Amino acid sequence: MFRQLVSASLCASCLAITPVLASDATDLSREARRTDQITAAKGQQQVVDRLATTFTGTFGTTEETRAVVTSLRDGTRQGKRSGTMGYGEIHIALALAQEYSAERGVPADVALDRILAQRIEGKGWGRIAQDAGFKLGPVVSRLRSDNARMEHPAPHRVTQAERAVRPERMEKPDRPEKPERPMRPERFERHGKS
């Protein structure tokens, strides 16, 4: 009897987790489509640049990260043919690798290769995250905010270096001298007033 209760409660808890996982996976797919739509609207170069700057530090310098994005897009990752990926899938893969790297303490490149290997096996993004032991919620949130920044980039802020290069101020032209006022005639005193 006790075993039946335990197994029933375990099944119920697994079923309770499944809708959350499915919901996050659906949100993740929605954000991937949104990244692809942004790519169609803004152009590939802008999205590649944005992904490279977003994940700089995780995958090395901006140029190294740009090379990772390009290798995923072309379908060649460290000499292995893994099939081409859309920018939405690339965005997901990089975000999952970043989370995986933080959770497990492995280098981001290793985490990315492990995630891609599971993806090639046919696993979905949600299953990959679940197997890695982290939740998709933060990853979905990250993709949402990244997409919002790609759609509506912040206005250019002037850096201190740019401020230092400001052109010198032009000198104000000298003011013309005021003409002298004519002298006022002296006041005559009226008789009778003191």
* Best-predicted range by mean pLDDT (34-43, 154-163, 167-176): 34-43
Judged by DSSP in three states, 77 sits in strand
Number of domains in the chain: 1
Global pTM reads 0.65
Q: Encoding tokens for residue 146?
A: 């990244």
Q: Is residue 84 part of a domain?
A: yes
Closest CA to 132 of 105, 107, 100, 108: 100
Q: Is residue 79 part of a domain?
A: yes
> pLDDT band for position 82 (50/70/90)?
low
With 0-12 / 13-18 / 19 or more C-beta atoms within 10 angstroms meaning exposed / middle / buried, residue 181 is exposed
Residue 47 has pLDDT above 80, yes or no: yes
Q: Is residue 119 part of a domain?
A: yes
Q: Is residue 50 part of a domain?
A: yes
Under the phi-then-psi rule, with left for phi > 0, alpha for psi from -120 to 50, and beta for the rest, what region is 44? alpha
Structural domain that includes position 23: 7-154
Task: Tell me the C-alpha distance between 154 and 9, whole Å.
Answer: 49
Residue 38 has pLDDT above 70, yes or no: yes
Residue 26 has pLDDT above 70, yes or no: yes
Residue-level pLDDT at 63: 92
Residue 2 has pLDDT above 50, yes or no: no
Q: Is residue 161 part of a domain?
A: no
Q: Is residue 160 part of a domain?
A: no
Q: Is residue 131 part of a domain?
A: yes
Residue 11 has pLDDT above 50, yes or no: no
Residue-level pLDDT at 157: 73
Under the phi-then-psi rule, with left for phi > 0, alpha for psi from -120 to 50, and beta for the rest, what region is 60? left
Residue 1 has pLDDT above 70, yes or no: no
Q: Is residue 120 part of a domain?
A: yes
